[in-house]
């Protein structure tokens, strides 16, 4: 099993955002030591619960502290940037850390209407995203009307399975990252493998599954560790923003005190999509998911308020990797 980590620089209530960024860098250093294949960072703008807004900048800092682990954007949101600038940043990383960079691209707009207005993009036409992905690839590969600098070998491009990304990845012959309900959509996954067009980017399909994972001595404790993120997701529907994580004990009190069935169901639904359990249960679940989906790699999202629990889960996941 090949295992990698996605870190969104989740914030904690009462902590400065800078601490979340510093923790992401330190976690990447540890991931490099533990032998993980990749360490990816994400792009979110003006979201209180996520400090990671500039993945390429963060990866530049991580690359300076690590030695072998691959560095990836999970992903750069194409609608938010000029394709040339995306290419220039990816090529700069490749120049700094040759052979270690992955350019993950996504098509999501900002989290809320004010953020979308601030980013200058409030909507997308049907062909906008595929066309802009094509422009990024031309700049990265040196096939555009101008040469993006630095002029170095192109890093591999991955697509996130949002905004038609799964079908687009098959059409373009690119590796793809799937998460959420798509992991269980057998028809869409089968279509990716069936429709994949081999080319210069990849000779065969390559599927990464992005999963929320929690491991503890008991299944009940593992579920409890994910309550802060589950609550933040459920609460975002009411408050209009994705908030910083709260301690597990505080979230338990909030859950016990709410009578809103819709919010309780939202928490349960979010937890139902995660991989939760004892070490053996999680190992079995991951093995089953990999075999069922045909995935080549697990991109793990490990997120709870207690950073020591994150560290323990990272160590366990590292032990699952096949040499």
Alpha carbon dihedral 61, 64, 67, 68, in 10-degree steps, equals 40
pLDDT of 239: 86
| DSSP conformational letter for 79 | G
Q: List the one residue out of 228, 236, 241 whose CA is nearest residue 306.
A: 228
pLDDT of 260: 80
Q: How far apart are CA 7 and CA 85, in angstroms?
A: 23
Residues 6+ positions from 139 with CB-CB distance below 8 Å? 83, 84, 86, 87, 88, 148
Structural domains in the chain plus CATH codes: 3-223+274-319 (3.20.20.30)
Q: List the one residue out of 233, 89, 74, 90 whose CA is nearest residue 158.
A: 74
CA atoms within 13 A on the CB side of 224: 15
Report the length, in residues, of the chain. Answer: 323
Q: What's the chain's Rg over C-alpha atoms?
A: 19
pTM confidence score: 0.95
pLDDT of 93: 98
CA distances (Å), origin 1, targets 67, 208, 295, 296: 22, 11, 10, 8
Identify whether the C-beta of residue 128 lies closer than 8 Å to the C-beta of residue 142.
no
Identify whether the C-beta of residue 73 lies closer than 8 Å to the C-beta of residue 103.
yes
pLDDT of 12: 97
Q: How far apart are CA 34 and CA 278, in angstroms?
A: 20
The parts of the chain modelled with pLDDT lower than 50 are none
pLDDT of 150: 98
Residue ranges in 213-305 assigned as alpha helix (H): 219-225, 227-239, 248-257, 261-272, 279-293
pLDDT of 240: 84
Burial of 9 (0-12, 13-18, 19+ CB in 10 A): buried
Q: List the one residue out of 90, 177, 172 whose CA is nearest residue 136.
A: 90
């Amino acid at each position: 099993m090949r295992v990698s980590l996605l870190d969104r620089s989740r914030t904690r209530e009462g902590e400065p955002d800078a601490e979340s960024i510093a923790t992401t860098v330190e976690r990447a250093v540890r991931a490099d030591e533990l032998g993980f294949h990749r360490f990816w960072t994400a792009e979110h703008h003006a979201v209180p619960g996520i400090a990671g807004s500039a993945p390429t900048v963060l990866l530049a800092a991580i690359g300076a502290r690590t030695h072998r682990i691959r560095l990836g954007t999970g992903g750069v949101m194409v609608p938010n940037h000029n394709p040339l600038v995306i290419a220039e940043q990816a090529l700069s990383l490749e120049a700094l850390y040759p052979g270690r960079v992955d350019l993950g691209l996504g098509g999501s707009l900002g989290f809320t209407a004010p953020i979308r207005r601030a980013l200058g993009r409030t909507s997308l036409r049907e062909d906008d995203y595929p066309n802009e992905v094509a422009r990024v690839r031309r700049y990265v590969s040196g096939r555009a009307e101008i040469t993006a600098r630095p002029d170095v070998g192109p890093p591999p491009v991955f697509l996130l399975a949002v905004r038609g990304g799964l079908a687009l990845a098959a059409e373009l012959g690119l590796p793809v990252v799937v998460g959420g309900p798509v992991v269980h959509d057998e028809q869409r996954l089968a279509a990716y493998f069936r429709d994949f067009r081999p080319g210069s980017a990849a000779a065969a399909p390559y599927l990464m599954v992005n999963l929320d994972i929690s491991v503890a001595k008991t299944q009940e404790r593992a579920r409890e560790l994910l309550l802060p993120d589950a609550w933040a997701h459920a609460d975002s529907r009411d408050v209009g923003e994705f908030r910083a994580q709260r301690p597990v004990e505080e979230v338990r009190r909030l859950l016990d005190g709410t009578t809103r069935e819709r919010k309780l169901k939202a928490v349960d639904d979010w937890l139902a999509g995660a991989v939760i359990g004892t070490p053996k249960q999680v190992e079995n679940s991951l093995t089953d998911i990999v075999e069922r989906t045909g995935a080549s790699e697990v991109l793990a999202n490990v997120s709870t308020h207690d950073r020591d629990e994150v560290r323990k889960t990272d160590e366990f996941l590292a032990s699952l990797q096949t040499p």
